[in-house]
Structure 1
C-alpha cells in the first residue's frame, strides 16, 4: 500500500521556523529519522521511504501554501495513490500549541492551504493532522502570527511534539485512521 504524506508550508528561508511551516518541520523529521532524503522534483521536494510494508511518498510542495492543491493532485495521480491514503500535516490556530488532532475529513477552517487542496481535489474527504500553534494574537494579527517564529518555551518542547506527530503518521499508515484517532486524539 502506498501513501502520500504532505507537510504544508512556504518555501524560502524567510519562512523556515514559522508556525505556518510546521507541516514541513514534521515531514522533515519523518524523513530524517528514516535515513532518507528529499530531492527536488515537480511541484516540490519529495522523499520515498517505507514504514514496514507501507510505501510512503513524502511531499513538501514548492507551490507556496495557498496553491498546495496542485502539488497534491499531481503526486496523487503520478503515484496512483487513492485520496483515502492522503495525509496532510497543517498548522491550526484553533488548537493550543502542541495539541495534535487527526481528522478523517472536515472543512478547511479558514486555512488557505486546505482550502486550495479541497478546491483542486473537489472533496473534503482526506485525512489531515492538525498541529496546534495557538491563537495568541490580537484581532487582525493572524497573518503576522502564523508567519512568526515560535516562542522559546514552545521551541523547548518542540522535539517531543514533532516526534509524536511522526508517531501518528506511522500509525495512520500501519493501523488506519480509526485506531490512530483512538490512540492519539485527546491524549495531549
Structure 2
C-alpha cells in the first residue's frame, strides 16, 4: 500500500504577513505545490492541496489558524487523512540557524517557537520530523517579534529562491527515501 505524507508549511495568513521570515514555511509549501502543478483550496483550518509522488499520497497544508494555533490544523488533518506523526514534515523558520542553513530533525523541542509549541501540545509531543529553515538572529535584544515578522533583506531576497528550492528538494527526498537518508544528504 502507498504511504501517505503530510507536509505542513507554517506561517500566518493575511497580506501583512506575506513574504516575512515567519512565513518561510508557507513559501516552501507554495513552491512544492507549484512544482507539483496543484493549487490550494481553503478547507477546514488550512489551505490544502494534494498530489501523487512516486506512488505516495502527498498532502500539503498551510494552517489558517495563525502560527500560535498551528497544532489545531495539524491535528485535524493528521486524523482526517490517517497519517502517523512520523510521516508529518513541518517546515518552520528557525532563529538559531544562520540564514540559508536548513536542518532536518526527527524530533526535538519547540525552542520557543509558538507554532511548534502548539503542534507539540495538540499532536502528542515532539516526535515529528521538522525542516528548520535558518532565518538568522540579527535583531536587537527584545525585538525578536519585529524581526520574524519583517521581510527578508535585499541580499537575502537574492538567495531565497535557491534556498526555497533546496527545502523543496529536502521535502521531496523525505517522501522518496525517508528521513534518515534525507538527513544524511541535507544536514551537511
Q: TM-score range by the shorter chain?
A: over 0.9
- 1:50 deviation in Å? 1.5
Displacement, 1:151? 0.3
Structure 1 residue 54: Cα displacement: 1.2
Distance 1:37 1:24 in 2: 13
TM-score, normalised to structure 1, is 0.98
After the TM superposition, which residues 10-89 of structure 1 pair with which residues of structure 2 at under 5 Å, given as runs?
Answer: 10-89=12-91
The answer for the alignment partner of 1:169 in structure 2 is 171
Paired position in structure 1 for 2:162: 160
Structure 2 segments unaligned to the other structure (5+ residues):
none
Q: Secondary structure at the match of 2:121?
A: helix
Q: 2:148 maps to which residue? A: 146
What's the offset of the Cα at 1:138?
0.5
Deviations 1:56-77 (A, max 9, x none): 1100000000000000000000
Runs of 4 or more, structure 1, over 6 Å off, are none
Distance 1:4 1:39 in 2: 15
Question: CA offsets per residue over residues 82-118 of structure 1, 9 Å max, x none?
Answer: 1110000000000000100000000000100000100
Q: Distance in 1 between matches of 2:49 and 2:122?
A: 23
Equivalent in 118, 121, 128 of residue 120 of structure 2: 118
Shift of 1:122: 2.0
1:1-26 CA-to-partner distances (Å, cap 9, x unmatched) read 10010000000000000000000000
The C-alpha deviation readout for 1:33-56, integer Å capped at 9, x for no partner, is: 111000000001000011111111
Q: Structure 1: which 5+ runs fail to align?
A: none
Q: What is the root-mean-square deviation of aligned Cα atoms in Å?
A: 0.5
In 2, distance between residues paired with 1:102 and 1:109? 14
Normalised by the size of structure 2, how large is the TM-score? 0.98
For residues 131-159 of structure 1, the C-alpha deviation after alignment (integer angstroms, 9 at most, x for no partner) is: 00000001001000000000010000111
